[in-house]
Amino acid sequence: MQKVLNGKFLKKGEYTRHTILEKAFEISYKKGYQATSIDDIIALTSVSKGAFFYHFKNKDEMGLAMINEIMYPGMYEALVIPLNEDKPATQSIYDMIKSILMETPAFDPQYGCPAVNIIEEMAPLNVSFKKVLSGLVNETQNTLEKVLLKGKEEGRIRKELNVKQSSMFIITGYMGIRNLGKLYGVDCYQEYLKELKRYLSSIE
Amino acid sequence: MQKVLNGKFLKKGEYTRHTILEKAFEISYKKGYQATSIDDIIALTSVSKGAFFYHFKNKDEMGLAMINEIMYPGMYEALVIPLNEDKPATQSIYDMIKSILMETPAFDPQYGCPAVNIIEEMAPLNVSFKKVLSGLVNETQNTLEKVLLKGKEEGRIRKELNVKQSSMFIITGYMGIRNLGKLYGVDCYQEYLKELKRYLSSIE
DNA sequence: TTTAAAACCTACCAAACGGTATGTTTTTTT
DNA sequence: AAAAAAACATACCGTTTGGTAGGTTTTAAA
């Protein structure tokens, strides 16, 4: 019991489990989830196949754990926390999206957004993935809605605005630009952000 | 020389080649490109593996042919042609997107859009795919730009609007809603379309 | 210090994968 | 009708895949 992660002490087993998930996240972000083999993962972790299957009863259980234990907290840090800062609603949303797009070194435009990728790939194929990913998107949309609603109350956003509709529209834009970025790189991020700003000012 | 396709007479070889591409398109739309095996395809076409490799020297060459010979014409029919109808710009764009989303029986919300799917999956992994898919998106964006420009000239769209920016924003929205639809189905299409209409009226 | 549980390792397996080699049939040209 | 080219079929191959069996080491509780 001497391994440390984020200031927490972990049992050895918990630590290896977590590194497996982290490495699986890294590889599947670039190669896709299905194309990432268990052999790929254990090669990068220098953990044996026996250890892998001690912690996860099959690949998909690992994949679900990866979403819950790596991507969920990552989404929280990149999205929920910044949106709770005390700024005008539209500014807060714009800054958050710009920050995710331009200032997250772990994300490479050519590989898009891990969450978007795995939705695209796995939601149609596996109901368990679909459920847990729906939960993740629900949370981000709820957070956006709250910000827009608060903006309304502060009189900074149009009273007639349908916040559910608008927050969904913002999310689809983000998902789309992450996809387009795979073709055109950061250049198209800039143009997207400009038009996003225009859209946001249109709801003020 | 008696096989007929779209009113054209095809040599037998050309016909089988085309059916291979069509079936490959069908399966890979639902399973993903990489997860679709050659055995899957030949099982559905009742064509032998020898025939497959007579027509394509490997799987990726088939995949590229599938994009060029199936998806490209499909994009043309669903996008370019409708946008050239004589309507006000924003109306034309809205109708086209609504039609693709709601009135294309071959597309199932849970499986998204074939073009978006294969961009997401293959653009980061294979430069040949990236190139041909960039071409496809370029053409759709150019078509959108032309429509917006024409709308400007007719005085129906704001003079200050950056058409490149706006057309890209519209495309990212479409890509995103196709992704979100995998989680929430047609229900979210409706809400997206409402906000799209709001956005389009904001550029008038 | 003993003991039991947790954590891990090695070697293996059947199925599926993309692709090839070699031959046969069908179609077209001469 | 003969010859050549196009179009296909069958059987196979090496590799990779997710997963298992069975034993060994490491850690923590008694």
The average pLDDT across A140-168 equals 96
DSSP string computed for chain A: --EEETTEEE-HHHHHHHHHHHHHHHHHHHH-TTTS-HHHHHHHHT--HHHHHHH-SSHHHHHHHHIIIIIHHHHIIIIIHHHTSSS-HHHHHHHHHHHHHHS-TT--GGG--HHHHHHHHHTTT-HHHHHHHHHHHHHHHHHHHHHHHHHHHTT-S-TT--HHHHHHHHHHHHHHHHHHHHHHTHHHHHHHHHHHHHHHHHT-
Residue B1, pLDDT above cutoff 60? no
- Beta carbon of A1 within 7 Å of strand C? no
**pLDDT for residue A11:** 80
**pLDDT for residue B10:** 75
pLDDT digit string, tens, across residues A108-117? 999 999 999 9
**pLDDT for residue A47:** 93
Q: CB under 8 Å to A113, separation ≥6 — which residues?
A: A100, A107, A174, A175, A178
In Å, how far are A87, A96, A145, B141 from A91, measured between CA atoms? 7, 8, 14, 28
Q: Which residue has the higher pLDDT, B84 or A49?
A: A49
Beta carbons within 10 angstroms of residue A32's beta carbon: 23
| φ, ψ dihedrals at B4, nearest 5° | -120, 135
pLDDT digit string, tens, across residues B8-19? 677 788 899 999
Q: What is the pTM of this model?
A: 0.95
Residue A65, pLDDT above cutoff 70? yes
Chain B residues with CB under 8 Å of A180 CB are 137, 168, 171-172, 175
Confidence of residue A191 (pLDDT cuts 50, 70, 90): very high
CA distance B197 to B191: 10
Look at B174 and A175 and tell me if their CB atoms are within 8 Å. Answer: no
- Beta carbon of A1 within 7 Å of strand D? yes
CA distance B31 to B35: 6
Q: CB under 8 Å to B97, separation ≥6 — which residues?
A: B170, B174, B193, B196
Confidence of residue A157 (pLDDT cuts 50, 70, 90): very high
pLDDT digit string, tens, across residues B157-171? 999 999 999 999 999
Give A71 CA → C8 C1' in Å: 27
The average pLDDT across A152-168 equals 96
**pLDDT for residue B8:** 67
Residue A164, pLDDT above cutoff 60? yes
**pLDDT for residue A2:** 57
pLDDT digit string, tens, across residues A121-150? 999 999 999 999 999 999 999 999 999 999
For residue A115, give the nearest of A153, A152, A74 by alpha carbon: A74
Chain A residues with CB under 8 Å of B175 CB are 172, 175-176, 179-180
In Å, how far are B72, B134, B145 from A201, measured between CA atoms? 36, 30, 22
Q: What is the largest CA-CA distance in chain B?
A: 59
Confidence of residue A13 (pLDDT cuts 50, 70, 90): confident
Residue A170, pLDDT above cutoff 70? yes
Residue A8, pLDDT above cutoff 90? no
Q: Are A189 and A102 a contacting pair, CB within 8 Å?
A: yes
Q: CB under 8 Å to B204, separation ≥6 — which residues?
A: B90, B156, B157, B158
**pLDDT for residue A42:** 97
Residue A4, pLDDT above cutoff 70? no
Give B138 CA → C4 C1' in Å: 66
pLDDT digit string, tens, across residues B106-119? 999 999 999 999 99
Q: Are B32 and B117 a contacting pair, CB within 8 Å?
A: yes
**pLDDT for residue B9:** 72
Residue B46, pLDDT above cutoff 90? no
Mapped to the 3 state alphabet, what secondary structure does B91-118 carry? HHHHHHHHHHHHCCCCCCHHHCCHHHHH
Residue B4, pLDDT above cutoff 70? no
CA distance B189 to A185: 27
Q: Are B15 and B69 a contacting pair, CB within 8 Å?
A: no
Chain B residues with CB under 8 Å of A137 CB are 180, 183
CA distance B190 to B170: 16
Q: Which residue has the higher pLDDT, B60 or A8?
A: B60
Residue from the list A34, A112, A202 with its beta carbon closest to the beta carbon of B34? A34
**pLDDT for residue B13:** 82
**pLDDT for residue A6:** 66
Nearest CA to CA, how far is B123 from chain A (Å)?
6
**pLDDT for residue B12:** 81
Nearest CA to CA, how far is B175 from chain A (Å)?
5
**pLDDT for residue A3:** 61
Residue B2, pLDDT above cutoff 60? no
The average pLDDT across B180-185 equals 98
Nearest CA to CA, how far is A85 from chain B (Å)?
26
**pLDDT for residue B32:** 98
Tokens of B107: 């597309």
Look at A183 and B134 and tell me if their CB atoms are within 8 Å. Answer: yes
Q: DSSP assignment, residue B77?
A: I
Look at A169 and B182 and tell me if their CB atoms are within 8 Å. Answer: no
Confidence of residue A33 (pLDDT cuts 50, 70, 90): very high
Confidence of residue A12 (pLDDT cuts 50, 70, 90): confident
State percent of chain B over pLDDT 70.
Answer: 96
